[in-house]
Structure 1
Amino acid sequence: MTRSRRPSLHLSTFSIVGADPDAGDVGVAVQSKFLAVGAIVPWARGGVGAAAVQAFPDVTVGPRALDRLAAGEDPDAVLDALVRADPMASQRQTGLVAADGRAASHTGEDCFDHRGSLVGPGYAVQGNVLAGPEVLAAMATTFLDHTGPLAHRLLAALQAGQDAGGEKRGMESSALVVARPGGGYGGNHDRLVDLRVDHDEDPISRLAELLEVRDFHFDRTPPSAWFPLEGEVRGEVAALLRRGGWLDDHTALPAALMDFMGWENLEERWADDDHVDPVVLAHLRGVHG
């Protein structure tokens, strides 16, 4: 009898899927010695959950798992059903988290060592071809210890895994995806964060840089922290906009401010006609001050 060959495609990868039920966020962070891992591993759906599919991945597992979560199935039951139906489950890894924080993970016995999964409240971490079990332990601890937006907690966990030894073959690509109902640009889709580093010597550090840029452009300052467009603030904003050529005698101040924000890709930080986001004001000062 001829023994079948082991498939050559194996994403030596470590990832975390996580949920922040209070914020309504679900997401995935992943790093791999593989080109453009973000095109394969991470899947997320606002209000439903997130999945990471890796090792010898069947990318259809991601959307199929999320469909089952959306239908009300428990993450453990979802993975159990998918594994039982998959003749190659022993070579696959899948992490799954529901929007309410329930999580599950599957690591097949034929994935390359060190391989493993850890599951806790609001997260699942999984990896293969790892330096050792300390990689996953560091990721889980860091995720639980960090506060703040889910994207930053996921990224911190990913960096902790790398700091603990990461993947034996090294680094090449990374990705960070976070979904929230209505959280995407324009408010009509769920893609709150969607960042990829497809080929880089230090993809996690590069991903952190991209997240900082993303936060600058697309985060929304709480209304309680907006500055009223009155008194000295109004006078300063008007003077800066005039200096930059945005405001003249025929243009209303809110319209001029919106024009400036659109030019600088800051339109997601629009407050209202009577307020200005402090991040926008700081940038206006930097550009035209």
Structure 2
Amino acid sequence: MTFSLAGRCARTGMFGAVVTTSSIAVGSRCSHASAGIGAALTQHITDPRLGPLMLDLLGRGFSAQQAIDSVVAATPRSDWRQLALIDKEGRTASFSGASVKPELAEAHGLDCVALGNIVRSAEVPAAMVKAFEADPAAPLAARLIAALAAGDAAGGECKPLVSTALVVADRQPFPYVDLRVDSDADPIATLARLWREYEPMAELYVARALDPESVITP
């Protein structure tokens, strides 16, 4: 009952992930990104430990496929997990265990990978990939939200969506964007609105952290 996408902006080097589901607080469990390293997704009877673990392996020099293979091999009951990963080279990997419930699917595209489980159509991840690839010049956050909306339009989830999350990592150890929507009747539309409000402030918040005097006005 979740669909998601992890992607990279080849132009800026940013990594990000976006996810939505019919249960609360999806952003606290499923989507992960690390500057200069990659982005990860972990869902379906979710083990939140696996996202950071996959990113740690990427940081140690593993490829996306090697990292997922290692996590699957070392994780008890990995048959319940659905995972995806993109690394700094734009390589992607995904895994859906034998116990992941249908409809389920995985889709890989240029600088992106998408997942879906317990969705209305197996075409949901492919629709997300197509939307993400449509405008490479757009900000990564906007591309991720567009992908989420396309997945919903392609069938979405079997239950009403209530939460969504967007995380983007740039050059710093803290997120460039970290937006979450919970207990909302239209979480994807609300996420899009939050991004429009946040976008003009994103660079300012980074500057405040790195050089406070640079943003002080007389």
1:34–1:121 CA distance, 2 compared to 1 (3 A): same
In the alignment, structure 1 residue 22 sits paired with structure 2 residue 31: no
**Map of 2:201 onto structure 1:** 217
Deviation per CA, 1:73-132: give whole Å up to 9, x if none.
011111111111223111111111112211111111211110111122211100101111
Say whether 1:169 aligns with 2:193.
Answer: no
TM-superposed CA distance for 1:219, in Å, is 4.1
Query: 1:64-213 counterparts in 2 under 5 A?
Result: 64-147=53-136, 148-182=138-172, 189-213=173-197
Tell me how far apart the structure 1 counterparts of residues 213 and 191 of structure 2 sit (CA, whole Å). 21
Aligned length: 211
Does the residue aligned with 1:94 lie in a helix, a strand or coil? strand
Q: What is the distance in 2 between the residues matched to 1:81 and 1:217?
A: 39
**Structure 2 Cα separation of the partners of residues 197 and 38 of structure 1:** 8
Distance in 2 (alpha carbons) for counterparts of 1:269 and 1:160? 39
- Point out 4+ residue stretches in structure 1 off by more than 3 angstroms: 267-273
Structure 2 matches for 1:186-265, cutoff 5 A? Answer: 189-219=173-203
Taking every aligned residue pair, what percent have the same amino acid on both sides?
37
Distance 1:144 1:272 in 2: 39
**Which structure: larger Rg?**
1
Which amino acid is the alignment partner of residue 71 of structure 1? R
Shift of the 214–76 alpha-carbon distance from structure 1 to 2, 3 Å rule, reads same
Q: Distance in 2 between matches of 1:178 and 1:141?
A: 20
- Tell me if structure 2 keeps the 8 A contact 1:21–1:99: no
Code of the aligned partner of 1:194: D
Answer yes or no: is the 8 Å Cα contact 2:116–2:122 preserved in 1.
no
* TM-score normalised by the chain length of structure 2: 0.91
Give the Cα separation in 1 of the matches to 2:75 and 2:179.
30
Structure 2 portions without partners, runs of 5+: none
Looking at structure 1, the residues matched to 105 and 117 of structure 2 have their Cα atoms a distance apart, in angstroms, of 7
Write the distance in 2 (CA, Å) between the matches of 1:101 and 1:111: 26
Q: Retained in 2: the 8 A contact 1:17–1:96?
A: yes
Contact 1:49/1:98 (<8 A) preserved: yes
Q: 1:135 to 1:268 in 2, by over 3 A?
A: farther
Match of 2:39 in 1: 50
Larger RCO (CA under 8 A, 6+ residues apart)? 2
In the TM superposition, what is the alpha-carbon distance from 1:271 to its structure 2 partner?
Answer: 10
